[in-house]
Amino acid sequence: MKRLFDILSSFIGLLFLQPLFAVIAIMIKVDSAGPVFFRQGRVGKNFRRFIIYKFRTMVLDAETKGLHITSGGDNRITRVGGILRRFKIDELPQLYNVLKGDMSLVGPRPEVRKYVEWYKHDYERILSVRPGITDLSSIAFRNEEGILQGVGDPEHYYVHVLLPAKMRLAQEYIQHASFFYDVKLILKTLWEVIFPSRCSQKQDLHPPDIVPSQDRGGST
């Protein structure tokens, strides 16, 4: 049922969003040099590599000019890219990944292999399901760039603090996963994108349930 829902929803979404995609493509091309879409290798179900699609929100060859993660105020983000990121519009091309079967509408967010290798044992269960466009961590840490903005070493904080928190939420999702739970998370995601809670944003900047995991070894 989940896969059927993914196929129908992604197909309908891609069909009706074509006019919006065309407008966004023009905006991206006018704003900065480079392709419309950003493509990157991610680790999917059963550790299978796949290419994720997003609207490009950063300058050309941004990956060679900084980290895999992005913090607030990153000068690699374009003007149009900042708008797309704010409203999560850059994620919409992932509907194609859902239609292909690389991803699901709801599931643990896919990571680059570099970060998966840090916690390979934990990811054995997380990657037993398809990664998704949204999940509990997407809602809880939708202001991730703001969280990382005031951190001295963003990548260290991401690997040792945010990523373990995301993995705990991924485990929680897998434990409670069901069709109706997925629908609930989709609706909650849409609500938070359109009507972000000020209270929740403050909590995002200081997540109360995160303890730095400096002693986590991970795989190297």
The per-residue pLDDT for range 142-166, each reduced to its tens digit, is 888 888 887 889 999 999 999 999 9
Residue 179 lies in a domain: yes
CA dist., res. 16 & res. 111, Å (int): 28
| Number of domains making up the chain | 1
Residue 157 lies in a domain: yes
Q: State CA 54 to chain mean position distance.
A: 10
The DSSP bridge pattern shows strands 49-55 and 37-43 to be antiparallel
Residue 220 lies in a domain: no
Residue 216 lies in a domain: no
- Looking at residue 197, its pLDDT comes to 63
Residue 48 lies in a domain: yes
In the block, residue with structure tokens 């194609």: 96
Give residue 136's domain range: 2-205
The per-residue pLDDT for range 178-197, each reduced to its tens digit, is 999 999 999 999 998 888 76
- Looking at residue 219, its pLDDT comes to 37
Task: Kindly indicate the confidence band of residue 217, based on its pLDDT and cuts at 50, 70 and 90.
Answer: very low
Residue 213 lies in a domain: no
Residue 211 lies in a domain: no
- Looking at residue 95, its pLDDT comes to 98
Helices 18-31 and 79-86, axial angle in degrees (round to 10) = 150
Residue 215 lies in a domain: no
Task: Kindly indicate the confidence band of residue 220, based on its pLDDT and cuts at 50, 70 and 90.
Answer: very low
Q: Show the CA angle centred on residue 9, arms to residues 194 and 195, nearest 5°.
A: 5
In the block, residue with structure tokens 């950003």: 38
In the block, residue with structure tokens 């049922």: 1
Residues, the chain: 220
pTM (predicted TM-score): 0.85
